[in-house]
């Protein structure tokens, strides 16, 4: 159970992110989640959107370098210690976490975390066994 | 089966060529001495008279000409015929110092066109071919030279000039261009664009003639693959005529110099001493048939090697290697010699685009070298670590090649200007010259 994440190469200079966001906005692409990893000269924007196929097409057409990969989106009750359960489960199973970012929605009492691990299948299995709920693409889009 | 435009001269015996050169050189020296005051003074200063030049063995007695002389004599100082006999000028991009302006009589243009025709026939061109000329037209010699050559061969000539890539590709597919003539960097760009549009199976190109710019074997392979052609080198300079001073044949191991028109020498750039065959040095040309702008012993600043090894193509004219750098193009960074072609080789080997920019600066009295490279979909990843690893690999490969650290800056695709003429590869902010 994974969701599709779009990554985009952005140069580290004023207006770059705005340019991309404007393109998404002009094309009515709705973002569900977003994070930026920054290096000295460039950044990697990661987003989860409602219409991945079209978004990628539009981003490519605009001349950006982009890629799509599968990540896990975990639903976590909005209370202290809830994330720890997920991380502990991964740690015990010796699954390395590449990066993670959280997002919330209008839904009350629930937070969500995107997890990028090397082995999605194994991680999904481990988390499932612990009763941790993961979102599929469809549910993600309907949030 | 090898084809020649002028087999009797292209495959002439060494003795025949020398005889022709002797006769033409003696005549040319007299022509220049009588008509070009600037060069006459140089000869007088050196104590050389036209009578001293009896054969090509006496060539070394003549004084050199350099770009500085061209600047000093600008614009008419080296013209050897009345202006009323000239029908054309061509000029260089003139990025350093004042531009070079060269003059041509109709006879000069005819001979230049024949040189280019030899190059086109050498890559398999016939009157059945569609020659797509994407060199710039106008003052730049690229377009007019190959255009004239194509006419001589009788090919259908598409005078596209540079730029407007969409139109280039449309003509190429609609009119079935078979031979492409342009700068290697533009050929690489066209290949990239054609593949991006998925049109590779709709082009009929079989060969390309690429010059006016330094390019590596790696770039040749890259272009040959992306366009599905054989890529040939051509060499020339406005001062001597334009493209077609030398050209590659089917062997692709160097460029045959049209020795019936140009005598080549290799000299030690520091002492001016003529070096024996096979030694690396600066290429010097003497025009022996030019009427309007006959330069004697012109120093090209191109470093290369001459070879008289028998060529499988059957041509007998001497071959020059691809220029290995220019005595004035080489960068000295932190005291280390850096050739842009070295950086290009590393980039292509690592899977990056041949489009790059080198930025040299001096910060706190220490040189810095930055190589800007365009990010490609193959290199990109959602993971910072993975991108950083690839960046580090590139830095290490550059270090291994150059011997010094070069900072790598990954930039967005299509942000480094694609060259439609000569690529601006180096930005030297130190302004040492």
Is A141 a member of any domain?
no
Domain span including residue B336: 331-428
Q: What is the pTM of this model?
A: 0.65
Whether A60 and A76 map to the same domain: the answer is: no
CATH of the domain at B94: 3.40.50.12780
Whether B30 and B97 map to the same domain: the answer is: yes
Whether A52 and A76 map to the same domain: the answer is: no
Please indicate whether, in this complex, the C-beta atoms of A65 and B383 are within 8 angstroms of each other: no
Is A40 a member of any domain?
yes
Residue pair B425/B419 in contact (Cβ under 8 Å)? The answer is no
Please indicate whether, in this complex, the C-beta atoms of B387 and A39 are within 8 angstroms of each other: yes
DSSP annotation of B71: H
How far apart, in whole angstroms, are the C-alpha atoms of residue B391 and residue B413? 16
Any A CB within 8 A of B76 CB:
no
Whether A94 and A105 map to the same domain: the answer is: yes
Please indicate whether, in this complex, the C-beta atoms of B384 and A116 are within 8 angstroms of each other: no
**Domain final position from A37, A69, A101:** A69
Model-level ipTM above the cut of 0.95:
no
CATH of the domain at A49: 3.30.2130.10
How far apart, in whole angstroms, are the C-alpha atoms of residue B111 and residue B289? 8
Q: What is the DSSP string of B279-334?
A: --EEEEEEESS-SSS--SSEEEEEEE-EE-PPPTT---S-EEPPP--BTTT-EEET
Whether B391 and B280 map to the same domain: the answer is: no
Q: Distances from the Cα of B146 to the Cαs of B118, B162, B169, B212, B326, in angstroms?
A: 10, 13, 19, 12, 24
Is A127 a member of any domain?
yes
Q: How many domains does chain B have?
A: 2
Whether A11 and A43 map to the same domain: the answer is: yes
Percent residues over pLDDT 70 in chain A: 100
Is A143 a member of any domain?
no
For chain A, the maximum distance between any two Cα atoms, rounded to a whole number of angstroms, is: 45
Any B CB within 8 A of A100 CB:
no
Tens digits of per-residue pLDDT, A8-44? 999 988 999 999 999 999 999 989 899 999 888 899 9
First to last CA, chain A: 16
**Domain final position from B327, B362, B395:** B327
How far apart, in whole angstroms, are the C-alpha atoms of residue A49 and residue A57? 13
Is B433 a member of any domain?
no
Residue with tokens 């160097």: B254
Q: Kindly report the nearest CA distance between residue B371 and chain A, in angstroms.
A: 13
Whether A61 and A95 map to the same domain: the answer is: no
Short-list B96, B90, B94, B92, CA closest to B113: B90
Any B CB within 8 A of A36 CB:
no
Per-residue pLDDT of chain B (433 residues; tens, 9 = 90+): 799 999 999 999 999 999 999 999 999 999 999 999 999 999 999 999 999 999 999 999 999 999 889 989 999 999 999 999 999 999 875 333 456 899 999 999 999 999 999 999 999 999 999 999 999 899 889 999 999 999 999 999 999 998 899 999 999 999 999 999 998 878 988 998 999 999 999 999 999 999 877 677 878 998 999 999 999 999 999 999 999 999 999 999 999 999 999 999 999 999 999 999 999 999 999 999 999 999 999 999 889 999 999 999 999 999 999 888 766 666 767 756 677 878 888 898 888 877 889 999 877 666 889 999 998 888 899 988 889 899 999 999 999 888 789 999 999 888 887 655 556 788 888 765 4
Whether B211 and B293 map to the same domain: the answer is: yes
Q: Distances from the Cα of B339 to the Cαs of A142, B36, B326, B426, in angstroms?
A: 56, 37, 9, 10
Whether A63 and A90 map to the same domain: the answer is: no
Q: Kindly report the nearest CA distance between residue A110 and chain B, in angstroms.
A: 26
Please indicate whether, in this complex, the C-beta atoms of B382 and A11 are within 8 angstroms of each other: no
Any A CB within 8 A of B196 CB:
no
Q: Distances from the Cα of B334 to the Cαs of B329, B356, B428, in angstroms?
A: 16, 21, 13
How far apart, in whole angstroms, are the C-alpha atoms of residue B260 and residue B32? 18
Q: Which residues of A touch B413 (CB under 8 A)?
A: 63-65
Short-list B60, B48, B1, CA closest to B263: B60
Q: Environment class of residue B400 by beta-carbon count within 10 Å: exposed (0-12), middle (13-18) or buried (19+)?
A: exposed
Any A CB within 8 A of B392 CB:
no
How far apart, in whole angstroms, are the C-alpha atoms of residue B425 and residue B358? 6
Whether B130 and B167 map to the same domain: the answer is: yes
Q: How many domains does chain A have?
A: 2
Domain span including residue A10: 3-69
């Amino acid at each position: 159970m994974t969701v599709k994440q779009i990554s985009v190469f952005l140069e580290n200079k004023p207006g770059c992110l705005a340019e991309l966001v404007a393109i998404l906005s002009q094309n009515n692409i709705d973002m569900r989640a977003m994070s930026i990893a920054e290096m000295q000269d460039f950044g990697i924007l990661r987003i989860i959107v409602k219409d991945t196929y079209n978004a990628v097409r539009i981003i490519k057409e605009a001349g950006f370098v982009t890629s799509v990969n599968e990540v896990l989106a975990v639903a976590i009750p909005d209370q202290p210690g809830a994330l720890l359960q997920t991380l502990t489960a991964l740690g015990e199973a010796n699954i390395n976490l590449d990066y993670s970012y959280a997002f919330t929605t209008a839904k009350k009492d629930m937070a969500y975390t995107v997890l990028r691990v090397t082995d999605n299948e194994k991680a999904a299995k481990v988390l499932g066994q612990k009763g941790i709920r993961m979102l599929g693409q469809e549910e993600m889009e309907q949030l | 089966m090898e084809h020649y435009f002028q087999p009797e001269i292209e495959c002439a015996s060494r003795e025949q060529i020398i005889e022709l050169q002797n006769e033409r050189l003696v005549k040319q020296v007299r022509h220049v001495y009588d008509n070009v005051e600037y060069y006459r003074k140089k000869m007088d200063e050196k104590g050389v008279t036209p009578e001293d030049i009896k054969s090509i063995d006496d060539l070394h007695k003549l004084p050199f000409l350099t770009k500085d002389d061209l600047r000093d004599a600008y614009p008419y100082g080296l013209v050897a015929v009345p202006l009323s006999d000239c029908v054309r000028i061509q000029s260089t991009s003139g990025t350093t110092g004042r531009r070079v302006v060269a003059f041509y009589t109709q006879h000069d243009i005819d001979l230049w066109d024949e040189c280019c025709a030899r190059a086109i026939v050498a890559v398999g061109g016939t009157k059945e071919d569609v020659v797509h000329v994407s060199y710039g037209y106008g003052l730049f010699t690229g377009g007019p030279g190959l255009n004239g050559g194509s006419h001589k061969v009788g090919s259908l000539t598409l005078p596209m000039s540079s730029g407007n890539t969409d139109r280039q590709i449309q003509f190429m597919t609609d009119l079935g261009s078979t031979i492409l003539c342009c700068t290697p960097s533009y050929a690489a760009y066209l290949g990239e664009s054609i593949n991006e549009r998925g049109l590779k199976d709709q082009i009929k190109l079989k060969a390309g003639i690429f010059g006016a710019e330094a390019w590596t074997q790696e770039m040749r392979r890259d272009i040959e693959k992306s366009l599905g052609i054989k890529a040939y080198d051509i060499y020339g300079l406005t001062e001597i005529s334009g493209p077609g001073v030398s050209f590659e044949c089917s062997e692709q191991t160097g460029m045959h110099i049209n020795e019936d028109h140009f005598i080549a020498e290799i000299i030690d750039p520091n002492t001016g001493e003529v070096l024996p065959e096979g030694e690396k040095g600066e290429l010097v040309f003497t025009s022996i048939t030019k009427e309007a702008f006959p330069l004697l012993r012109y120093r090209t600043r191109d470093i290369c090697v001459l070879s008289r090894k028998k060529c499988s193509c059957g041509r007998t004219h001497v071959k020059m290697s691809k220029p290995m750098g220019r005595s004035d193009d080489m960068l000295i960074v932190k005291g280390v010699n850096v050739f842009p072609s070295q950086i290009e080789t590393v980039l292509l080997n690592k899977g990056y685009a041949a489009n790059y920019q080198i930025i040299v600066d001096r910060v706190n009295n220490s040189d810095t070298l930055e190589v800007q490279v365009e990010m490609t979909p193959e290199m990109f990843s959602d993971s910072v670590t993975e991108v950083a690893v690839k960046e580090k690999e590139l830095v290490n490969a550059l270090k291994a090649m150059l011997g010094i650290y070069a900072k790598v800056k990954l930039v967005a695709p299509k942000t480094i200007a694609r060259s439609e003429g000569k690529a601006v590869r180096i930005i030297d902010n130190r302004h040492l010259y």
